[in-house]
Amino acid sequence: MISNLISFFISYRLQREPIYEALALQEGVHLPTGEARRDLEGIRVGDVMQSVASPLSPQTDVRTARQLLKKLERDAWLVTEQDRLYGVVTLRDLDQVKNPSSTLLNQVVNPESSFPYVHTDHPLSLALERMGAAGADVLPVVSRAQRRRVEGVIALADILAAYGVMRREASKN
C-alpha cells in the first residue's frame, strides 16, 4: 500500500493529466474534462423544461392527434385528462391504427401502462437516456408527490440546446 501511494504521488507530481486522457488526446479523441462533466451534470430538467402548451385529450381522434404531432414535429406527446397524465402516445402507436377517424386515443393509450418520465431535479443525462430507451423525443416532467401530475415537458431539442448542440430558438415550436 505504501509503494502504491508513493507511485501515485510521484506520477501526480510529474504529470497531472491522467495517462488515458493523454493517450486519447494524442489519438485525436477529445474527452470532456472532469470539470466539463460536472458542469453538464449540474444542468437539471427543471432548468430547461417547458410548460405543456396543448396536451391531447383521451377523447381526441387518432387522425387529429397524428396531425398535431406532425405539426409540432414530435414523435410522442402527452395525453391528459382533467390536468392529470393519462399516458403518452407515440406516432408509432397512431400509425398502427386501422381507422384513425373513428378511433379515440383512449382506445390506443392504456392509462395503466408504464411510461417514461422525469422529475425536475433529474439531470438532463437521465432524461436523454430515458428518451433513447423509449424511442421518444418528448418526456413528461411529473411531480415527485404524484406521478400523474404534469409539471411540464422536456423535448430532445431543449436538451441539445442546453448542451450547446443547437440554438434554443430553433428548438422552440
pLDDT tens-digit map of 110-147? 878 788 899 998 888 888 889 888 888 899 998 888 88
The three state secondary structure string of the chain is: CHHHHHHHHHHHHHCCCCHHHHHHHHCCCCCCCHHHHHHHHCCEHHHHCECCCCCECCCCEHHHHHHHHHHHCCCEEEEEECCEEEEEEEHHHHHCCCCCCCCEHHHHCCCCCCCCCECCCCEHHHHHHHHHHHCCCEEEEECCCCCCEEEEEEEHHHHHHHCCCCCHHHHCC
Sequence ranges of the chain with CATH classification 3.10.580.10:
45-171
Question: Tens-of-pLDDT digits for all 173 residues of the chain?
Answer: 999 899 888 887 887 777 777 787 788 776 666 666 666 567 888 889 988 768 888 898 889 888 888 888 888 888 888 878 888 888 888 888 888 888 888 888 887 878 889 999 888 888 888 988 888 889 999 888 888 888 999 999 888 888 777 654 444 44
Q: Domain 45-171, CATH 3.10.580.10 — does that match?
A: yes
Query: Does pTM surpass 0.75?
Result: no
